[in-house]
Amino acid sequence: MNHIRKNAMIRELPFEERPREKLIQYGAEKLSNSELLAILIGTGTKEVSAIMLANRILALEEDGISYLTNCLPEELSGIPGMGMAKSCQIVAAIELGKRIATKPKGRRVNIKSPSEVASLFIEEMRYLKKEYFKVLLLNTKNEIIMIENISVGSLNSSVVHPREVFCTAIKKSACSMIAVHNHPSGNPMPSQTDIEVTRRLADAGELLGIKVLDHIIIGDGIYVSLKEKMLL
Query: Is residue 218 a contact partner of residue 126, using CB atoms and an 8 Å limit?
Result: yes
CA distance 163 to 122: 26
Q: Give φ, ψ of 78 to 5 degrees.
A: -75, -10
Task: Quote the pLDDT of residue 63.
Answer: 66
Which residues in the chain land under pLDDT 70? 1-16, 63, 102-108, 155-159
pLDDT of res. 15 = 59
Overall pTM surpassing 0.75 (yes/no): no
Nearest-5° Cα angle at 124, 175 to 129: 110
- Given a contact cutoff of 8 angstroms between Cβ atoms, the answer to whether 142 and 107 are in contact is no
Q: Of the candidates 118, 131, 111, 121, which has an alpha carbon nearest to the alpha carbon of residue 225?
A: 118
Fold of 114-225: Cytidine Deaminase; domain 2 (3.40.140)
Distance of CA 43 to the CA centre of its chain: 27
pLDDT of residue 1: 44
Residue 167 has what pLDDT?
Answer: 92
CA dist 217 → 4, 123, 132, 157 (Å) = 40, 13, 10, 16
Query: How far is Cα 1 from Cα 71, in angstroms, rounded to an integer?
Result: 31
Residues pairing with 218 in the sheet? 182, 223
